[in-house]
Structure formats: C-alpha cells, structure tokens
A = this chain, B = another copy of it.
Amino acid sequence: MPFCVFQDFNLAAIYVSDAQYNRNVYFDTSPQAVRLYMLYNHWALKVLLYFFMLVNLSLAIFEDPAVYPLPIWATMLVEILCLLIFTIRVIHYAKVILRDKFWKDPKNICIIVILTLTLVDMIIYGALKAANYYGVRWSRVLRPLLLVNVTEGRQLRRAFRSIRNALPQIFYVFLLFMFSILIFALMALKLLGKRGLTNINGTPYFTSYLEIMFDLYVLVTTANSPDVMMPAYNANFFFAVFFIVYILINTYIFMSVFLAVVYNNYKKYLKEEVRQLVRAKRHKMVRAFGVLQEQREEGGEPVVTQASWNQLVRLVQPNLSNAHRELLWSVSDDKNQGAIGKVAFVQLADLLNIEIITIKSRPHPLQSLCPSLYQSAPSKLLCQLVQHRAFVMVYDLIILVNAVFIGLDEENPMIANSEWVFLALYILEILLKLYVFEPRVFFSKHSFWNWFDTVIVISALIATIVNSVMKSCNRQILDIVFILRVLRLIRVVDSIKRFNYISYSFIYPCIKIICICGDPVVYYIFAMVGMELFKGKVTFYEQSSTDPAKAYCGNPLLNGTDFAKLNYCKNNFNDVVSSFILLVELTVVNQWHDILYGFATVTHISARIFFVLFHVIVVIVILNIFVAFVLEAFFVEYSVDKSDLQTSLERKIEELELAVAQYVTLQRVVCGGHIEWLAQDLTLNFKITSQHFLLLCVIANCYYIL
C-alpha cells in the first residue's frame, strides 16, 4: 500500500476545492506550482484584487469631470498602483498554469491588452496635460472589462456569454422590427405629412421622414404616448387606429418576442453550461481520487481510506467541525467499510457544498444560574405565552398601530412621545424572547429576522436617545431615526408564511442578478462615454441661486425647451454619480425623449445615437435577460414551495436534464436516513445550497424536532 505524501494531499485538495467552487483552471501539477496555486486561491489575495478593482473603478469619482476633484498626479498614482497589482496577479496566474494554456486563453490576452492600452493612454494623457493640450482618457471605458476578464469574474462572463449567444437571434428580430418602423413611418409621412397639422408648440407635425421614424421609435418605448398621437387624433379619430395598430405590433408583440428570444436562448445555454460544469466537476473529482487511491486487496477496486479522506477534508475545509465531517463520511461510506470507492468519493464536492447548520440544544443560561426561579410556574407560563401564536399576532398588531402613528404628524407631542412607548414594547419583545429562547439559538447564523429586529431596535433606541439629548433636531439623525422606524415595519412580512416564498424569490435575485446581468459594467461604459460627450453642456444651479441662467440650465440653447421647463438640469453627465442616475432614468424610459432632445439641442442631432444605442442594449437586451433571470428564479422557488423538498429537487434536476441523480440520493440520505445519528442533537437544521445550479440556488429547509 503506497503512503500518500503531503504534496499528494495538497494536489487532491486543490482538485476537490476546484470542483467545489467550479473553478476551471488547468494548473501545473508540479509541487511548486500547486503551492503557488493554493496561494493564488487564498481569500486575502482575492479580496485585495477586488479592493483594487473597486479603487480603479471609483477613480471616476475623482477624475475630471469629478464629484470630488483630485489633482491628476494623485489619481494617476493610484491607477498605476492598481495596474501594478493587476499585473502581479496576472504574472502569478501565468506561473500557476501551463505556458501554452495561458496564451490560449482569450481572458489573459484581454487583460494584458487592457493593461497595456491603459498604460499607453495614461502616458499620452499625461503628456498632453503637461503640454496643456486637451486630452481624453479613453481607456477608462476598458476598466469594467477587467472585472469581466479576471478568473473570478466567472458569473459576469456567463452573463455576457448569454448576451452574446442571444445576439444573432435578437438581430433578426431587430431587423424586422426596424423594417416595421420604416413602413409605419412611411405611411405616417404620406397620411399625415401634408395635412398642415401642428404639434402643441406650433411646429409642423410629421413632415420629416427621419423625425417621424424617431418619434415612432420613441412611441415603442411608450415615452411620448399619447402626445405624439394627439394632433392626428384631434384632426380625425380614424388616425388613432393607425397608432393603436402600431403600438399593438411594435410595443406589445415585438417587445414580447424580444423577451421570448432572450428567454429561449437563456434557458438553452444555461442548461448547456450547467451540464458542462457538472462534467468538469466530475472530471476533477476523478483526478483527485486518482491521486489518493489505494488498493486494499489484490485485484480489488481502488479505494480511499477514511484516514486519507479525513486528511483531505481537513485540508479543503479546515474549519469544518468533527461532527460535520463524520456525518459526511457516514453518508459517503453508507455500508461502513472504512473506505470508499470512486462513485462515493466523487460526491464529496457536492457534499461539501451542502451547508449544514448544527445547533446544539443547550439549557437556558438562566436555568443553570437559578433553576428554581426559571422552572417555577409563573416563569413556565411566561414561556408558554411568548411561544404562543397570539404573542406574534399581538406584536403584528402593535407594528400596524405603529405604522399609523408614524404616518401621523410627529410634531404633535402625544405622537412624539408614543415613539418611546413603541420602542419600549419592541425592547420588551426582544428581552422576553431572550428569556424564553437560548441566546445562541436566538442569535444563530440563520435567524435572519431575529438579527434584523435586534439591530433595528437597538439602533433606533440609540438614535432616538441621541436625538432627544441633542435637542437640535439635526436633520440627518432624524432621517436615520425615521428610516429605522419604517424598516421595523418590514418584519410583518415574516409573520405571514405565504409571503415567505415570494420574498425568498426577491432576496436572492435582488442581490445577484443586478451584478450578474452586467448592468454595472454596461452602465459604467456608457457613463464614461457620456461624460466625454456631454460633460459641462448642462449646468445645475442650486435652488437658492438667482442666476437667470438657472431657467435654461446654464445653456442658452436650452431656453424654452421641455428639458429646461421640466427642470431636468440635474440630469446631466457632469460627474460619474449624475451619469449613473441619469442612465437609470433612461433605463426606466419614461421622458427619455425629453432628456435626449435636451442633449441633442446642446450638442448635435447625432447625440441621439448614444441614447438609442443605450436603449437597445440596456432595455431591449439586458432588461429582458433580467426578466428571464427572474422568471427562472421564480419558477424554481415556486416549485420548492409547492411540493416537498424531495420531489422539487428531483424535478429541478429533471428540468435541467442533468445526470446528477446521486445528488438526490444523497439528499434522501441526509434528510431521511440518519435519524439515529441526528438523535445526538435535539434540533438540526439543514440548509442545502447547491452552488452548481448557478443562480437557481436551491434553498430549502427540513427541520427535525425529535
């Protein structure tokens, strides 16, 4: 029997953790490279990378046009530091993986090209500025692309792949869509152009072909409905039919077809990618098995002994408790042979991904301190009262009454004082619960609502005290107090079981989708381009300003336009924060034509291209991917709620047509089979998170109260 050397365990551990986190790195298997690779995967280095990534992206706040201006040398210095860090990271990566694999991967070449271009741009810009010429920091557009191309940006890349995959299909629908707009515009020109109709501001209505096309494009986004139709409708109501047909075809049917195309592609490629991930994971686990395998008897199947397995798991997840590791082993080695074959070993990566929260039932501290009091009849009655459903309902009622009081005028002294009563009631609730429940159970990792309650109530208490002590009516402290008070109301959602699955389908998408869809990346790029094109064209004057230029946003060209009339001066590209907010407004689409006309007025008519491009990319492509994400996430969550865990998991696997049947078996074993083992703990709470389902994270609980 060969004895495994330390390096072998390192190698196997890396294979397992790669499988666990779905990393696809073809690293060099030499002991030195393996050690480097372990360092490469160290969390501190990753945090460092992301930190400098963030610093690099935030430079936009300090660079011209800046929110907080800094001298050029300062931002340049920070940027060079960032570039240095990124370069070191790339060199580290190059040392870890095989030479030919490194140069074959487009990601690495992308990063090197971006770093080089950035450096070149910085030199040119520095030189131009030193010579007092006008310079453009064009390489800022490339910054978010770094985020996409680092090894860790896997999910972002996946989002971009799904966008790229959908593009050819979208393109054909888009052509047909444009053709439809062309035809309708031609018809509108012929029908309405010669009638001498006027817009509301007296300009001629529908006389230029390009203008009509553009107006009809805006109508697809519904932003100028019904205004664009009113002059024609006022002339004759039959023209309304033209617009209704147009809206039906282009707004409703075409936009639905865009969603259908994106959703269809998304589902198709998601399935394919998940299949590939599962295959790669199995492949890595087989290699790990190959490193650790031993032959217990001549001609027998190769196996991994419990000792090797334990050492491996300790290396992969050092902070795993002994009990947890033993559970995993007993699941793998269900026949209790002291060693496991390949099939059972391959499960390990999935097993490690199952989050198991073990809560040891301890006696309440008060019971240990003074058992006679805690076990007395009034104390027991109190415990029963707090655990009763009515207790929850009473506090829901208090929250609702509180909501009404918050809505009332807080300057009334009666209402201002009522706040103290409510605060006292909330603190009483927490104290009562702490009296009844063991504090470590009450504040366990998965008790989200208990943490939420306590943090909000204590913060509100502190803020209210500070506020009443200072008596200065400091607006900011008051704001915090108000926000905390209102946030407290959200807790009602927890009480209504029905809402739980719906709110689950929010929390997860909320956090992940927005990042994953690549929204921030696209926004950043558009913000950079927008700032170069439109900075300083529109100026915002404070409310208190008496400058006559305030009426036209500091640009005489805007005098009398809707942009100035609607007081949109703050919707500008003068710094990165304003740009982001403006881009969100453009995503919402409403009134975007007024914003667009404003910027086209102060620059050139071709500025429209920028806005239409943003609309096509963000609203037609990315927003539909977002909806597709939510639809998929919802369907998965929905099926979890509807049936018991078992069938839902099976169904999900069926849905994705994966060959991971052993996953289901495992599930059954953990939840159903090991009751004798679980009996050691009074309460055991399983939380299963299958990370390889990408977004479609399976969150499900099975409670055992034995």
- Using a CB–CB distance below 8 Å, which chain A residues touch chain B? 172-173, 175-176, 179, 182-183, 186-187, 189-191, 200, 209, 222-227, 229-230, 233-235, 237, 240, 244, 247-249, 251-253, 256-257, 259-261, 263-264, 403, 406-407, 479, 482-483, 485-486, 489-490, 492-493, 498-499, 502-503, 505-506, 509-510, 514, 540, 543, 566-571, 577-578, 581, 584-585, 588-591, 623, 626-627, 630-631, 634-635, 638
List residues of chain B with CB within 8 A of the CB of A490: 183
Contact of A190 among B191, B482, B506 (CB under 8 A): B482
Bound form: Cα–Cα A653–B229 in Å: 45
Bound form: Cα–Cα A569–B231 in Å: 11
Q: Count the copies.
A: 2
Given contacts A248-B510, A249-B510, 20 further A-B contacts (CB under 8 A): A172-B498, A186-B406, A190-B482, A190-B485, A191-B479, A191-B482, A222-B589, A222-B590, A226-B571, A226-B588, A230-B568, A233-B570, A237-B570, A244-B584, A247-B588, A248-B514, A252-B626, A257-B505, A259-B627, A590-B590
Q: Report the minimal beta-carbon distance from A579 to chain B, rounded to whole angstroms.
A: 12
Most buried by B among A492, A506, A514, A584: A584
Bound form: Cα–Cα A505–B591 in Å: 31
Q: Knowing A173-B502, A244-B584, A249-B510 touch, does A631 contact B259 (C-beta < 8 A)?
A: yes
List residues of chain B with CB within 8 A of the CB of A499: 172, 175-176
Q: Knowing A226-B590, A581-B240, A638-B264 touch, does A253 contact B568 (C-beta < 8 A)?
A: no
Q: List 24 A-B pairs, Cβ < 8 Å.
A: A173-B502, A183-B489, A189-B407, A191-B482, A209-B407, A224-B590, A226-B591, A229-B585, A233-B570, A233-B581, A234-B570, A237-B577, A237-B578, A247-B584, A247-B588, A249-B510, A251-B588, A256-B626, A256-B627, A257-B630, A257-B634, A260-B634, A261-B634, A264-B634
**In chain B, what residue has the closest Cβ to A184?**
B486
Bound form: Cα–Cα A127–B62 in Å: 79
List residues of chain B with CB within 8 A of the CB of A182: 403
The 8 closest A-B pairs by CB, nearest first: A190-B482, A260-B634, A256-B630, A225-B590, A222-B590, A226-B585, A187-B486, A225-B588
List residues of chain B with CB within 8 A of the CB of A566: 200, 227, 230
A186–B407 touching, CB < 8 Å = yes
Q: Report the minimal beta-carbon distance from A264 to chain B, rounded to whole angstroms.
A: 6
Q: Report the minimal beta-carbon distance from A113 to chain B, rounded to whole angstroms.
A: 34
List residues of chain B with CB within 8 A of the CB of A247: 584, 588
Bound form: Cα–Cα A247–B407 in Å: 22
Bound form: Cα–Cα A485–B264 in Å: 37
B227–A591 touching, CB < 8 Å = yes
List residues of chain B with CB within 8 A of the CB of A506: 249, 253, 257
Bound form: Cα–Cα A253–B224 in Å: 24
B234–A406 touching, CB < 8 Å = no
